[in-house]
Amino acid sequence: MQQGDMGIEAQDLSVKELSQLSHRVQSEPAPRVRAVIFDLDGTLIDSEPNYFLADRELLGRYGVPFTEAEKRRYIGSSNLAMMEDFVQRYGLQVAPAALAAEKNELYLRIAEAHTPVFPQMRRFLDLLVAHHVPVAVASGSGLEVIRRLVKQVGLDGPFAHLVSADEVAHGKPAPDVFLEAARRLGVAPTACLVVEDACPGVEAAHRAHMRCIAVPTLTDPPLPATFGLADLLFPEGMDSFDPDRAWAWVQGQC
């Protein structure tokens, strides 16, 4: 669904109200879905616990305690943007890019030891590949992290392109990383579908004029209204994600 400018702040609406409004502002039928772009962390792979461990160890080196509650504010953000905020919030005397590189080393050591693929999402990916739907990854993680993790979990075969937010001007919620993925796929943004787990990614998909399936990592009610921008929402998160239902929905968009 290609959505226009609603002129209303998302946070002022409930999920249901925003979803209803989003559908009312359609001006024309959307083109068929011709490609699917996946977020990586929290969407394809269960990596958020590993990121927390890496962030905690990283900040511990600088004498800063870091809790799971604090980590929640960063889910869906790019790694570099997160390090920029760390430097500002905690007064760290280190360049954000250097901090990001340090974190990547920590994260890869942890993640390469154990990072599972969500089986439901693997099933959905297999359905897309079996029906010759081009797929790509667009993530806020660094490109080397993406490459190594995708290979580590055995997902390096299906994806035509791996795109990092580090390769574009702005990370999510800006649409840049999804637009770059569409460009590399050779598919118009309006013919792309995004699969996401976090509000910044859902907003980025909306701003890119792409359809979106949202499977939230954080499911504490009430869900943020931004999830109402998704075209298909699984509000209970990965526990409720049904790959066959998602594929049936995609078929209806093709």
Residue 152 structure tokens: 């580590």
Edge-to-edge strands, sheet with 161-164? 161-164, 135-139, 35-38, 192-196, 211-214, 232-233
CA atoms within 13 A on the CB side of 70: 14
Tell me the C-alpha distance between 123 and 121, whole Å. Answer: 5
Tell me the C-alpha distance between 63 and 228, whole Å. Answer: 39
Active-site entry in 5, 12, 39, 220: 39
Q: Give the dihedral sign, CA 47/99/176/227.
A: positive
What is the maximum alpha-carbon separation in the chain? 55
Spatial contact of 148 and 112, defined as CB atoms under 8 Å apart = yes
Q: Name which of 210, 84, 215, 92 is nearest 140 in CA terms.
A: 84
Cα 133 to chain centroid, rounded: 19
Q: Name which of 137, 72, 144, 138 is nearest 103 in CA terms.
A: 144
- Tell me if residue 231 is catalytic: no
Q: Which residues are catalytic?
A: 39
